[in-house]
Amino acid sequence: MKILFDKVGHTIKPFHLKEDGMSFNGELQKSGYHRLQLTGDIKGDVELLCNRCGEAFTYTLETPLKLTVSDQIVEDKVDLDIIEFLDGDVDISFILNSEINTLKSEYRYCKNCDNIDETFEMEF
């Protein structure tokens, strides 16, 4: 799902994306010269692999998202929550997928292994 950068003005433009069991609802609004503000919520179930036992498990993702979108190369990367779309399209699907990939790259334990941790702490 793509939204034309130039179509977004100072009036809030809502978007709703459903993809692979995930939903991404949010708003785009012009926030400056070549800048848009994106706010939204990502919700859905993601299949993850436990970092301890390797079992696949379902993680319910529910996270708010706040990003600045630019259609120009951003020289100063002080603001890390900035994303560049140089071809003039804001690619909502890409943002959703990169959030899911970030989640997958983090260390996660399944419910069983989380419980092991709790028992461990209680015994010692």
**Contacts to Zn ion by CB under 5 A:** 50, 52-53, 110, 113
Nearer to Zn ion, 45 or 87 (CB): 45
Nearer to Zn ion, 33 or 107 (CB): 107
Q: How far is the CB of 123 from Zn ion (least distance, A)?
A: 19
Q: How far is the CB of 118 from Zn ion (least distance, A)?
A: 13
Nearer to Zn ion, 36 or 46 (CB): 46
Strands 56-70 and 82-84: parallel
Q: How far is the CB of 59 from Zn ion (least distance, A)?
A: 12
- Alpha-carbon distance of 59 to 51, in angstroms, equals 13
- Alpha-carbon distance of 54 to 48, in angstroms, equals 9
